[in-house]
């Protein structure tokens, strides 16, 4: 991703894409002191941009640092980066991290940096409307007193990349992660929903990200009078659901056709929520979010 034309906004100005670099002794590279956002723009407008910018600031605070640009400055940076990309539909990656002044676990005096990159990113999963295949991840989501699980923090993605790579090597698109208690949690970069008897069931986000797409999906379902039940879901229930899908800013709403031995058939509820989400992000539907 580094050797290409374009520009990246970093610490208040644009630099050429291929010259946008950090030093080897960047604290974030060694100790994962970075927080980030993944967002999508549709028709030149970033969906739920302000919520993403606020979440980035909140993630930074959870990690013990303050981003030296306000939410409004970040909003402006994202608008400018999107405009400069010339793209209408795009993926937007904002990231904040601890710099390189001090080396070691402690980095109290390191400057905090902020960057925004925008590029074209099609569907997160190939052929996603057919329904993707998930396997079971070997790694579990940590407990809230083991890791700062509500921050969108780089360090939490170590187990996601491990799980995703293992899944891909075994021929699957992604993996279902359980939490520290053995309850169903989420995929490696998206939340999960199930359908049973025309109601949606989704795990309570008490040890993983309560994704913005998850929250949007719940509102879309409620607008259709579909009952949404947030609760603890055990793996032995996987056989009892008829439909399944995952949600995320990159994944949008992606139907799931299989989790290990269990198969699902994307049907009316999955299809109507995918349609609603598409209309909503493209500004063709009103919904109080």
Catalytic positions, written as ranges: 152
Which residues is 175 bridged to in the sheet? 135
Is 248 a residue that touches ligand PMP (CB under 6 A)? yes
Per the CB < 8 A criterion, the answer to whether 195 and 270 are in contact is yes
Phi, psi (deg, nearest 5) at residue 187: -85, -175
Pairing outcome for strands 7-10 and 112-119: antiparallel
Q: Please report, as residue ranges, which positions from 197 to 216 form the binding site for ligand PMP (by CB under 6 A).
A: 208-209, 211-214
Residue nearest to ligand PMP (CB): 211
Nearer to ligand PMP, 194 or 208 (CB): 208
Separation CA 145–CA 47 (nearest Å): 32
From the list 103-111, 185-193, 222-230, 277-285, the region that binds ligand PMP by CB under 6 A is 185-193
Answer for which of 249, 259, 269, 276 binds ligand PMP (CB under 6 A) is: 249
Is residue 186 within 8 Å of 196, Cβ to Cβ?
no
**Nearer to ligand PMP by C-beta: 38 or 99?**
38
Which 17-36 residues touch ligand PMP, going by CB under 6 A? none
**Per DSSP, which regions of 169-266 are E strands?**
174-178, 184-186, 191-196, 199-203, 228-231, 243-248, 252-259, 262-263
Mask 143-172, x = binds ligand PMP (CB under 6 A)? ---------x-------x------------
Chain contacts with ligand PMP (rule: CB under 6 A): 38, 152, 160, 186, 189-191, 208-209, 211-214, 247-249
């Amino acid at each position: 991703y580094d050797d290409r034309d374009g520009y990246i906004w970093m610490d208040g100005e644009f630099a050429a894409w291929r010259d946008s670099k950090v030093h080897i002794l960047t604290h974030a590279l060694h100790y994962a002191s970075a927080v980030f956002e993944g967002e999508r723009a549709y028709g030149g407008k970033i969906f739920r941009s302000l919520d993403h910018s606020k979440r980035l600031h909140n993630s930074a605070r959870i990690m013990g640092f303050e981003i030296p640009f306000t939410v409004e400055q970040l909003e402006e940076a994202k608008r400018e980066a999107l405009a400069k990309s010339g793209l209408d539909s795009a993926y937007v990656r904002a990231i904040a991290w601890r710099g390189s002044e001090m080396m070691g676990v402690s980095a109290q005096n390191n400057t905090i940096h902020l960057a925004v990159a925008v590029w074209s990113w099609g569907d997160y999963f190939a052929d996603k409307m057919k329904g993707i295949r998930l396997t079971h991840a070997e790694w579990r989501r940590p407990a809230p007193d083991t890791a700062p699980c509500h921050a969108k923090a780089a360090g939490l993605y170590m187990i996601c990349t491990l799980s995703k790579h293992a899944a891909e090597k075994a021929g699957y698109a992604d993996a279902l992660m359980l939490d520290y208690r053995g309850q169903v949690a989420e995929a490696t970069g998206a939340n999960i929903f199930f359908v049973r008897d025309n109601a949606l069931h989704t795990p309570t986000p008490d040890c993983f990200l309560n994704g913005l797409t998850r929250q949007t999906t719940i509102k879309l379902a409620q607008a259709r009078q579909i009952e949404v039940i947030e609760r603890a879901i055990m793996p032995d229930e996987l056989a009892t659901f008829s439909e399944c899908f995952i949600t995320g800013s990159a994944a949008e709403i992606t139907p799931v056709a299989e989790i290990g031995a269990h198969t699902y058939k994307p049907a009316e509820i999955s299809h109507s929520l995918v349609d609603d989400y598409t209309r909503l992000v493209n500004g063709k539907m009103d919904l109080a979010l």
